[in-house]
Structure 1
Amino acid sequence: MNAQPTGLSGWRVVHWVAAIGAALLVTLTPLSYIQWKQFNLMQDVAINQIDSIMWQAYQLERELSHLAYAVHASVDPASTVSGDDLVERYEVFVSRISLVTDMPRSDLLNTTKAYLDAMRQVNEFVAQADPVFEDPKGKLAQRDLRLALIRSIEQLEPALGDLTREANRATARFVDERNDQLRDQGRLVIGLAGVQAAVLLLFVVLLVRHLRRQVTQYERLQHITRELGVAKDQADAANHGKSVFLANMSHEIRTPFQGVLGMLNLLDETQLSGQQRDYVQTARDSAQHLLGVLNDILDVSTMESGTLSLAPEPVRLRTLVQEVEGLMRAAAREKGVSLEVDAAPDLPEWVMADPTRVRQILFNLLGNAVKFTHEGSITASVRPLADTPGGICITVQDTGMGMDAATVAQLFTRFYQADNSVRRRIGGSGLGLEISRNLARMMGGSIDVSSEPARGSLFTVKLVLPTTEAPAQAARSPEQTGQKRKLRVLVAEDHPINLKYMHILLDRMGHEAVFCENGQEALQLLELQRFDVVLLDFHMPVLDGLATTAAIRALDGTNKDIKIVLVTADVVNDTRKRALDVGVNEFASKPLQAQDLQRALEHCGLLDGSTVLVGDEAPVAPAPVMPEQQDIRSSAAGLIDSESYTEIVSMMPADTMDELLRTLFEPPEGSVHVLLAALASGQAAQIGYDAHKLKGTAMLLGFRALVRISGQIEQLAKQEGATFAPELSTQLRADMERTQQALRQFQTVSPA
């Protein structure tokens, strides 16, 4: 009798469990079926309706934007967009019209005002544009007709935007219809949910117990949070102490480092062998790199400790920008990236600024641009801010790898590595941008950045640098360089302009020079005469610089050990290694400057330790003081480096300068016309050679536009199977004419 209730009780429990399981099965099975149907219904809405209505309208709007961009670009005189490109874009746009008119469930859209207005304007635009695009060589080539198309496109764009939005609303209306169906299904779900409610009551007890445990855990977490707050305060105090310690230690380390660098500089001025001088230079480069890292740490530490201050003084802003450009150009050239730095014509001449800190900002931004740009260009500009007294805006635009939004948001975080793998390959401590932003804020400005992956980055720096008067000691004395020892120099250079320039340069430096046009002639002269050093151009006919060097090293007699300096505009790592392998002693980059040649000769050990001005033995007439070239800078922006050209003019007599310009521009033997003739022939080797000669001469004279176009042609000529479009000749001729026009303006503002 006693066992029966137990058995019965146990049986009832088992059946209750079975009943609950059956109830769940009965309710969940239809619920699952209903949910499956709802899922299919929503998938149908998402895939079919949005793609067929809103997406087709958006396609039409997007193709109009592409057409607008192409027509806009074709108006630019320098544009490479052809008439066929415009016709292709237009045909793609027209093909999208039928997608809108024939879309599924078009009844949701084709009765709306937005659709009717858009289709009316589209038909009007097509009626206007068809005759123009049917005649790409005639009507489409007319600039006024393209401008009219641009205006029509601008009027059509809002209507297509409204159509896209109306398509979105039509999709929403269609979804509302489906929602009504879902609502009916929801009623069934509610009924089934009532059955489930009874089952859910069984889990209330378990839920209450769980909530109690959660409350207990929450109270424990609150206690831990308070402890973490105390620990954070202690860590902040320790971090401040660390910053003060780093600031003090960085100062202490930098002081003896300056002594190390000073001793290395003094050691470099003593009589050293070539190998010893190379060791000293390596040690000095390493010390400079380590000192740069220490300086970054010092800057961050002093910023944190609040002891960093600016030391403003009168600064010639344009000169400072050009100095930075000159130092960064070699790094950009070594990576095969073009660098253009433009200082606006209305830039203040003198401003109150800390030149070291302004340079630091420019170096950081340009240095990063060079690091992360593997091909393409870097463009920097410095211009005044019209709406800010004393405001200066600096922009640095590159075509590098770019960054996503998450990286940009963290970019100015200390030690942040945007891409660890890239940073490891390229280097960098992750401090430069944070330091630059803090320095910009100290100068009353800021740094902003916009970037897209694979499309480059744009950094914008705004500073407040008040305009000031030039200091009394700002007048510059003529630059004179030279040395006591007079050298016999053999120069192998195939271009007459460069020959004349190097003749004047060596004469001003007090050396005796003998000139020849190629490496073969240089070898013949070395067999007959004694020289101290040979200056070889890299690209020469008959024998180039490397082949000539190898032949010299194979000579019999003392001349086989003569010092050789390779003069070229493209001494990149691979070229430098090959040159060193064949026996080149030193390098000097084009355009050759007196200080570069002086440094190369010193590194070769050809000059005695004490150096004096050339004036001690060969007086040099002071360069004429040129007037402010504000007009020429304004009219020739991007065409001529006025300071480089002024320096060349100051070195040469007027008749010699005129002869140089004729050698460059006068047909048919002028360098530009020789290159035009080579382009017409289509012979890649000759084109590359003539383009290289023109580039070297243009770099010497500061003709920026000619440097750009000749450099592009030279790079194209190096590609296997290269073809030379007629647009290259057109652009070269246009740049020549614009440069000549700028030179005429320059002569107008120059003294008689």
Structure 2
Amino acid sequence: MTSRGEGPLARRWGLAAIGGVLALVLGAVVLVQGRQLALAQQALRSGDGYSVTSLFQLEVETLRLRDQWRTVLEAATPEALDSLRLRYEIWVSRIDLARAPSLQAMMAGEPDYAAAVSQLGSFVADTDRLLAADEAPDPAALQAAFEQFNGLVTPVHGLSLAAAHRLAQRADDGNRALQQQSRLGVALSVFLFALCAVFAGLAMRQMRQLQQRRLALEDLTERLREARGDAEAASEAKSAFLANMSHEIRTPFQGLLGMLSLLRESGLTPRQAEHLRVATESADHLLAILNDILDMSQLESGRLTLNPAPLDLRALLTQTDNLMRTQAAAKSLALYLDVAPDVPEWVVADATRLKQILFNLLSNAIKFCERGSVAMDVRVLSGPPERLAFVVTDTGVGMDAQTVQRLFRRFAPGDPTLQRRHGGAGLGLEISRNLARMMGGDITVHSVPGEGSRFCLDLPLQRHQAPLPAPPSALTPDQPLRTLEILVAEDHPVNRQYLASLLETLHHKAHFVPDGRQAVQAVQQRRFDLVLMDLHMPELDGIGATVAIRALPDRAAATVPIVALTADAFQETRERCLLAGMNDFLTKPVSPQGLATALRRLFGRVASDGPPAPAPTVAPLPSEAELIDPAAVAAALQGLSHERLATLITSFLDQGGQTVAHMRAAVRSGQPLELRVHAHAARGAALNLGLAALAQTAQALHEGAAHLPAHEVAHLVQRYESQLARTRQAARDAGLLSPA
């Protein structure tokens, strides 16, 4: 049985052989035709016909000379004698033609030819003296010469016949050669036609096979396209399912963990407190597994993204150490954190993902270490490029080489026995390594059984300048948040109960609605300081409700701060919320610390008896002297005339009203990207024209469009509008406006 590749290979060799034979036959045909052409050209070049014609003319002139000679013998007049001499000269010239090389070659081997030519030569030699022009020939000698000449008539006639015979023979030979070459050419042409027919048949067969193969490939491509579409649809369905399951699982967790945290604050007996601790740990463990599964799904689909930002590295390490120290103390383990002096305080990294990796490495080290210590050393590795190494070392059980090889495989714990003892889904290390590689680094491990393990997280080091310290606030840290009127859009009854208790604990008033449509109506009916908006609700979801609120004609209602509450922890959901016009994003289960931190980000700290509305956190307005930057104006005047600069400033200020309208429309429709575009354009133009105050406010809008509360963004737009009029007056006073 031949293999699948032998058939096409044999066909290719067959076509190659036929092609070679075709080339040989074509060459033979060319050779035959060339031979035919050569024979024809040789026949034309030989001059045989001309030579035979010369002999025929010699015979004719011989007969004419004989007749003229007879006339002279009958009447030897001077005129007849002159005609004889002329005819004799013509006859002699014909004899010279009979001696031509071509005629000699044709008559080679003919004995009568040589004898006849010799006789003619001898006769001419004797007769030349007889027919000399200076004296009259002797009649007797003339008679004797005529008799000798008359004997030459028969040999000359024989020469003519022999030449004609030779010419006919040569013509027959040439015709036979041509006929033979023609027959050979016809045979080769027939053979060539047959080969071409075979080749055409094979080519047609090959083309049909190629056509069938192309159709098969197109069919396969179509099926693969459909399969890809099905796979993408399945992936999207899987992502939607995971998002929905995240919501369905996290929503009960919201109530479970919330009630457990509230229960912890009530008076419990030691036995009840222990039961509550076990329940809380179990819930935290289940939530950690859910987070790992969601992260793994996002890594598989390529939808997990990083959000690098300036990060206080030492503060993050301190937080990580504090959180892990409790676990280490529970097992009587020493936990050490050593940060090298050359490690920068501020770096650029994704704080959430970096903390997730460090938590996983330290948690595993503590989990599989029964005695001794766990240490994390942070140091800078010299470059270029510079890298940052986080080395976690434990004195635990260690691992052999085979266990290390299985360590980063999904759902495959390194040691199944220890895994059953300590639990876990077997996803943490794989997720951590994938996250490290997304950051441009990696995780390596070195372990010795019975001595412990060392995990090294190696990441690129991106240094960042430490931010300037914030100006001192007139408020003291212990001043409480003022009481806020908060609208909560939440359809789950347990979550409503938990959030009511949580907001009451934080000294705020909560008002509840079960869906997004009622949330829009409630915002229209009364003033709220904040809206906590669940995303998955009946009637109208949180995204739609936010868009509807931002489109309200009432500016105060349209700019109310809105914070998303969702169990969907995907990054795409966060981006959808911010694009819809929300100001912040909280993931369920919401902790008291997380909610309090979000409120502080939005409102800061004010006195409990302060004014009802929060003070805006924007910078104070610049003074009149700061409206126009003289240095920037002077720099602009180096490249522009005073009139041209004044025209540009006037045009910019005239368009300011339209710019403000676009900004306000972007704020009302919850489109921070659109607002950033207009603010960026306004800032660049204002800087070039030396309009410092407008450039500063536009810069604040550009930077705060996506994360500042909506009411603060509205204040910035209002400030920009008021600065337009004051800047116009300042420019007029400085002579920077065109007369028009």
Instruction: With the length of structure 2 as denominator, give the TM-score of the two structures.
Output: 0.31
Instruction: With the length of structure 1 as denominator, give the TM-score of the two structures.
Output: 0.31
